[in-house]
Amino acid sequence: MALIPNRNARYRRLLATLALAGLVGLAPGTVSAGGPLWPEIGKILVAEQAATSPSLAPPLDLMKDKNVRKGERILTGPFGRIHVKFKDGSEISIGAEADITLDDLVYDPSDRQANRFEVTIVAAAFRYLSGAIAKLNGAQIMLRTPLAAIGIRGTHVLAIVSKNNTGCIVLLPTPGAEGKPSALTVTANGKTVVIDRPVWGTEVSGDGDGPTPPQTWPRARIIKMLAMSGSSAAFIE
């Protein structure tokens, strides 16, 4: 993929940062050089201007259809995006300038309480669609950010976590589940709000306040957020 000079330079800096931190150039699937092999938890469906660790050294532009493992950190460049589908059928789509870690995923249909999914989002525009784990043990799905923790109840969520200490979270319609219960919780600074209406959302900041009261969000704003997360506007059609 040809890159314009500025984009290429910024992407090289991204990969250099990973290399200095020991996050690329490791043996496939290891936690660190000589470390244990973590389980595979999903597959990359789309990858543009992105890198991952601790996994394979090549940038993820070349990694479509490759697997990701528990504990991997994913970063995207200024024009990057990545889409991952997990073992339980859940999906996450991530836009540019993102930094997330796939902390844990356990999917075991034979043991409801064993199921869990945890992701840490340092910065990203992202869209997450829950899968089988939400039906088996939804209380153990957690999306953590520096500003808030997002709990999932059979949900399709769209969010932006920015580097300037602000964020916004919206509940999207869940494809194929029209009329079925869907909700998310957002907890920040000891306060929690519940969002149980599609296209309603809340905002959070690092100023010590809790999430704002949920309210309906303009369609144009949601479409912009979807684009930022590398997603289609069809998700609110």
pLDDT given at position 236: 83
Q: Which CATH number is 187's domain given?
A: 2.60.120.1440
pLDDT given at position 145: 93
- Supply the range of the domain harboring residue 105: 5-232
What's the chain look like in SS3?
A: CCCCHHHHHHHHHHHHHHHHCCCCCCCCCECCCCCCECCEEEEEEEEEEEEEECCCCCCHHHCCCCEEECCCEEEEEEEEEEEEEECCCCEEEECCCCEEEEEEEECCCCCHHHCEEEEEEEEEEEEEECCHHHHHHHHHEEEECCCCEEEEECCEEEEEECCCCEEEEEEECCCCCCCCCCEEEEEECCEEEEECCCCEEEEEECCCCCCCCCEECCHHHHHHHHHHCCCCHHHHC
Residue 237: inside a domain, yes or no? Answer: no
pLDDT given at position 225: 96
Total domain count, the chain: 1
Residue 134: inside a domain, yes or no? Answer: yes
pLDDT given at position 35: 52
Q: Which residues of the chain have pLDDT under 50?
A: 1-6, 18-34, 54-60
Place of tokens 């789509």: 93
Place of tokens 């540019």: 96
**pTM of the predicted protein model:** 0.82
pLDDT given at position 176: 76
pLDDT given at position 235: 86
Q: Of 68, 121, 69, which Cα lies nearest the Cα of 95? A: 121
Tens digits of per-residue pLDDT, 55-91?
444 444 555 677 888 998 888 888 889 999 999 999 9
Answer yes or no: are the C-beta atoms of 102 and 41 closer than 8 Å.
yes
Tell me the one-letter amino acid at 51: A
Residue 135: inside a domain, yes or no? Answer: yes
